[in-house]
Amino acid sequence: MVDDAELADIHRKAVCVVCSILAPSFPTRLFEAFFYAKVVISTPLARYCFVGLQDGSNILLATSPAEAADHVRRVFDEAP
């Protein structure tokens, strides 16, 4: 269960990196990030949680920590 403080934290973030696929809250974290219209960076396994996820379109998928960091850097470099 996600408490109100965690939801407020997600609301303040510009980017949500959701990579812990072993956590039972993985799909919930993805849903919350999408709900708040955040840029979502995750692992390719995220595609199994929601239908229609396409890398580079509505999610950024990373297969390594370095690739996730590159996505974060690119998001902030391209920000207005």
Confidence of residue 6 (pLDDT cuts 50, 70, 90): low
Band (pLDDT 50/70/90 cuts) for residue 23 is: confident
pLDDT in tens, 45-68: 888 888 899 999 999 999 998 999
39-42: strand order across its sheet = 15-18, 39-42, 60-61
For the chain, the domains span: 4-78
Whole-structure pTM over 0.85, yes or no? Answer: no
Distance CA 5, CA 59 (A): 24
